[in-house]
Amino acid sequence: MWLKIIILLLFVGVLISLGSGLRFLLKDIGVPESKRTLYALGIRITLAALMMLCVFYGFYSGILSSTAPWDHTL
């Protein structure tokens, strides 16, 4: 259960970083030296990588599983 909460929090963090990056992009149009959009991109990439690592760990350890009908083995 704790892994699902961590994945959910990381996903929310990715969405917040996406929104802040868009806000910085639109707000800093005329500012030549602003790097806030790049920092938001870096944070988003880091959070997405952590989320993928958590999902891979969950599948590898058996905490997470797929319930798709094409994943069932006979």
pLDDT in tens, 13-45: 999 999 999 999 999 888 888 888 999 999 999
42 in a structural domain: yes
Residue 68 within any structural domain of the chain: no
Q: What is the pLDDT of residue 66?
A: 86
Is pTM beyond 0.75 here? yes
Domain of 53, in residue numbers = 2-61
What token pair was written down for 28?
């800093």
pLDDT at 7 over 80: yes
In a domain, 74, yes or no: no
Q: What is the pLDDT of residues 42-51, one digit of tens each?
A: 999 999 999 9
Residue 21 falls inside a structural domain: yes
**Amino acid 44: pLDDT:** 96
CA-atom Rg of the chain in angstroms? 17
Residue 70 domain-assigned? no
| Cβ 18 vs Cβ 47: under 8 Å | no
Q: How many domains does the chain have?
A: 1
pLDDT at 73 over 70: no
